[in-house]
């Protein structure tokens, strides 16, 4: 990025990677819209990604992971490996090149999802999770993660109202409680993750997101 933003500063540096996380129905899409508006106002160029997916090959993996109509059962190990295969493609072919060019990246999910869904939901050991993350990410982490926290009953009821549920959304409610617990546990220990109460009225959630992003931009001194 080599352009003046509204703060009047010029920069020629790597972009920043902002990730939005949360269980189904937490409001990730509208959170991303709020973030986009702020980046546009600040004259910061960005791309958006989603996981699993985000490249042609990774989108094919997303279809496999989300489809509820496979003729054979998708094992938990396959699910785990496909999440990381997708992430590897996305990181190498879109996220890293964009950041290098100075573009910011807004991610709809990233590695924290695997830690929460596969680590928490599916009960994979921390050791296994750390090993596969190390191989795939080689220490790469987002600059900021916004975790939208919501009770699974409320989130799932919102997701159901949107239409047909995919393979993961069809899991029992206990699965989503384990996912949420893991999200909360990790978020508490990592100061690059900000938790926002997503059960508030939408206006309040958006206000909180705006505050976090503006504070982040100011702290980056972009
Ligand atoms: P979504 O993008 O519509 O939220 O769907 C992605 C689904 O995949 C969602 O149920 C969460 C799940 N997921 C994992 O289980 N592990 C992961 O690493 C990622 C990125 C997503």
Q: Which DSSP state fits 120?
A: I
Atom number, ligand 1, closest to the C-alpha of residue 169: 10
Residues 6+ positions from 179 with CB-CB distance below 8 Å:
23, 116, 117, 120, 121, 152
**For the chain, what percent of residues have pLDDT higher than 70?**
94
pLDDT at residue 95 in the model: 98
Residues 177-196: tens digit of each pLDDT: 999 999 999 999 999 999 99
Residues 196-211: tens digit of each pLDDT: 999 999 999 999 999 9
pLDDT at 11 over 80: no
Task: Give pairs for 88-94: CB < 8 Å, separation 24+.
Answer: 88/136, 89/54, 89/55, 89/57, 89/58, 89/61, 90/49, 90/51, 90/53, 90/54, 90/55, 90/58, 91/136, 91/137, 91/140, 93/55, 94/47, 94/49, 94/54, 94/55
155 ligand 1 Cβ < 6 A: no
To the nearest whole number, what is the mean pLDDT of the chain? 93
86 ligand 1 Cβ < 6 A: no
Atom number, ligand 1, closest to the C-alpha of residue 111: 18
Distance from C-alpha of 49 to C-alpha of 181, rounded to nearest angstrom:
25
pLDDT at residue 18 in the model: 98
Q: For residue 204, report the distance from its CA to the centre of ligand 1, in Å.
A: 25
pTM above 0.75, yes or no: yes
Partners of 148 in beta bridges? 196
- What residue owns the CA closest to ligand 1's atom 19? 113
- Collapsed DSSP state (helix, strand, coil) of residue 217: helix
Among the listed residues 56, 45, 83, the one whose alpha carbon sits nearest the alpha carbon of residue 168: 83
Partners of 145 in beta bridges? 19, 193
pLDDT at 44 over 70: yes
């Amino acid at each position: 990025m080599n352009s003046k933003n509204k703060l009047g500063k010029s920069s020629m540096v790597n972009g920043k990677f902002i990730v939005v996380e949360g269980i189904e129905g937490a409001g990730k899409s509208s959170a991303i819209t709020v973030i986009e508006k702020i980046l546009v106002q600040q004259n910061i160029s960005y791309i958006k990604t989603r996981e699993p997916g985000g490249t042609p090959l990774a989108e094919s993996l997303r279809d496999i992971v989300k489809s509820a109509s496979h003729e054979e059962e998708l094992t938990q190990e396959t699910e785990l490996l496909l999440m990381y295969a997708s992430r590897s493609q996305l990181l190498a072919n879109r996220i890293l090149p964009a950041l290098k060019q100075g573009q910011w990246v807004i991610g709809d999910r990233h590695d924290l999802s695997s830690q929460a869904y596969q680590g928490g939901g599916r009960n994979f050991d921390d050791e296994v999770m750390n090993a596969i993350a190390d191989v795939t990410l080689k220490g790469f982490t987002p600059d900021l993660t916004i975790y939208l926290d919501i009770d699974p009953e409320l989130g799932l009821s919102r997701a159901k109202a949107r239409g047909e549920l995919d393979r993961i959304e069809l899991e029992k409610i206990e699965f989503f409680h384990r996912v949420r617990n893991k999200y909360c546990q990790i978020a508490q220990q990592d100061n690059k993750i900000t938790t926002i109460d997503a059960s508030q009225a939408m206006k309040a959630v958006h206000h909180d997101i705006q505050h976090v992003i503006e504070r982040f931009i100011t702290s980056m001194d972009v």
